[in-house]
Amino acid sequence: MDLTYLIVDQRGAFVGKHSERIQVRLKDTLLQEAPLLTLNAIFITSRGVSISADAITACSEAGIPIHFIRPSGYVSASIYSAGLVGTIQTRRAQIEALSDQRGICLAKAFAAGKIFNQAALLRYMAKYRKQTDQDAFRELQWSAGEILDHLIELERLDGPNIETLRFQILSIEGRAAEKYWNAVRQVVNVPPDWNGRVGRGAQDPFNSALNYAYGILYTQVERAIILAGLDPYAGFLHADRAGKPSLVLDLIEEYRVPAADRVIFAMANRNMRFEQDQDLRLTAETRRAIAEGVLDRLEKPERYGRKKMLLRHIIQQQARHMATFLRQERDSYTPFCVKW
């Protein structure tokens, strides 16, 4: 079976083009190869990897992104075809939306999608404990209900533009997230001394695993945004800052739970060790397992409207819906909400 993703995680590896295939070699040994026709992306996750100009050109011409990801999950660079960033009509509408109700609608939708999906995952986990652990079942159902209550608070917010409401929306999202992670602690096999969710800079294995999963997911969301003609650095829910891909951080909120959290929770409950090296970075083997888990999850179908669609295709479709909403070709934007 032809590979759809290449994960290059060995120091000294060389990524090159041979005929119509991308190959990964270590000295004279062929490690991996994939035809350009079926390849979706390349992830370079180790230092000391080299890539040829021919491979970069071939990938750009075929619309295959190349992502460079640090052990922390931070995406340090991505290479796309130059033609993908040449749109202007959608970007003009995106900037204009910062001053009107479109920006508020999108910010609320991103937060609402995340909140709904957090509650949905708790209820999904509760369902499998109804017969075996009534206390856990009731606690998860209660927590899910409390999280959903924040949607009412979110809906009531009103203002002239997103700048006047951003702090309030983030506050609501943050309080819902606190309830979510408190509930997760009760049913996911986290370390006994786990002190809660930590983002960038986390040193404990569980948070590091989550951050790395989000990094893999980030590349897929960024690609969808660029393909939709949007500017990844002009967000609504997340404030602008030099070098901060605010719109990617906005749209990713809808998918953290179904594409990353669910993968890491399943790994933890199967007693997988998120191993770290002496510098408290996830080992290459752990990073590969997480990347493969997230990428495999993106290839799974989810209910979308009246049909089922691969999760990675849903991400792309939602980015297009955002673009048409910003251009006022669509009346509203509805976040992706999982139905488990």
Condensed to tens digits (0 to 9), the pLDDT of residues 75-116 reads: 999 999 877 665 789 999 999 999 999 999 999 999 999 999
205-227 vs 284-298: helix axis angle to the nearest 10?
Answer: 40
The CATH number that domain 5-64 falls under is 3.100.10.20
pLDDT (tens digit per residue) in 25-52: 999 999 999 999 999 999 999 999 999 9
Please state whether beta strands 301-304 and 307-310 pair in parallel, antiparallel, or not at all (unpaired).
antiparallel
User: Is there a shared CATH topology between the 5-64 domain and the 89-326 domain?
Assistant: no
Tokens of residue 158, six digits: 């009103």
Q: Give CA–CA dist 304/306, Å, rounded.
A: 6
Which of 298, 301, 278 shows the shortest CA–CA distance to 218? Answer: 298
Residue 3 is predicted with a pLDDT of 75
**Reported confidence tier of residue 322, pLDDT bands at 50, 70, 90:** very high
Interval 110-135 mean pLDDT: 94
Which CATH number is correct for 89-326, 1.20.120.1810, 1.20.120.920, 1.10.490.10, 3.40.1190.20?
A: 1.20.120.920
pLDDT tens-digit readout, 248-294: 999 999 999 999 999 999 999 999 999 999 999 999 999 999 999 99
Q: Which two tokens stand for residue 89?
A: 């009509």
- The residue ranges of every structural domain in the chain are 5-64, 89-326
pLDDT-based confidence at residue 230 (cuts at 50, 70, 90): very high
Query: Which of 67, 60, 76, 47 lies closest to 17 in space, CA to CA?
Result: 60
Residues 6+ apart with CB under 8 A from 179: 143, 146, 147
